[in-house]
Amino acid sequence: MNNEQLSKFQIFEDLSDENINLFHDILEVVEVEKGKNFINEGDHGDSIYLLLKGEAQVNQVLTLSIHKSEVDKREKAIVSLSSDSYPQFGEMCMFSEGDRRTANVRAQTKCKLVKIAKTDLIKICDKHPDIGYKIMRNLGRVISGNLVKANDNVLKLTTAFSLILDR
């Protein structure tokens, strides 16, 4: 992967080629077969992923108690991702220790990803505070954008429930 490709991901926004070069040694290329999860809900989060090639889907388990002895654990698709839009995910783990993954991410096609370990990213940010500031600002923007989307979804859901209950 080259700097031009990496610079399209929001985490590297406003970084020069020279800055991006600092990250090449910590990038781990991961290939995932179609239908396989590469992030599992509830697992310890310790890395960020960048989707270089392919399509993936973010799913969450909708745990519903049907009877005292029976639990429905069907998954609900939250969002579909394509490498055409340069998505990244897993960034929540950067800001809390022992953070658990909040969703499953499954390869819809064969996927090629870059995995960035939290510890390696933090080392670069500590060693180069100017770059670290930009990286953390960019991650904050990603998380903020995701929060706005989640709030919109909650609003839609509560509106739908209100309309159903008002009948």
Structural domain of 127: 3-165
Do 56 and 86 contact (CB within 8 A), yes or no?
no
| Domain tally, the chain | 1
CATH code at 146?
2.60.120.10
Question: Sign (positive/negative) of CA torsion 112, 37, 44, 147?
Answer: positive
Tell me what pLDDT residue 143 has.
83
Do 108 and 53 contact (CB within 8 A), yes or no?
no
Do 20 and 124 contact (CB within 8 A), yes or no?
no
Helix (H) / strand (E) element for 84: namely none
Mean pLDDT, range 50-70, rounded to an integer? 78
Q: Does residue 79 carry a pLDDT above 60?
A: yes
List pLDDT tens digits, range 106-142: 999 999 999 999 999 999 999 999 999 999 999 999 8
Mean pLDDT, range 56-76, rounded to an integer? 70
Mean pLDDT, range 73-92, rounded to an integer? 83
Percent of the chain with pLDDT strictly greater than 90 = 49
List pLDDT tens digits, range 4-20: 899 999 999 999 999 99
Bridge-based pairing of strands 104-107 and 37-39 is antiparallel
- Kindly list the strands in the beta sheet with 111-117, ordered across the sheet, starting from the edge strand earlier in the chain: 27-32, 111-117, 47-53, 88-89
Q: Does residue 64 carry a pLDDT above 70?
A: no
Comparing 3-17, 22-36, 145-159, the range with the smallest average pLDDT is: 145-159
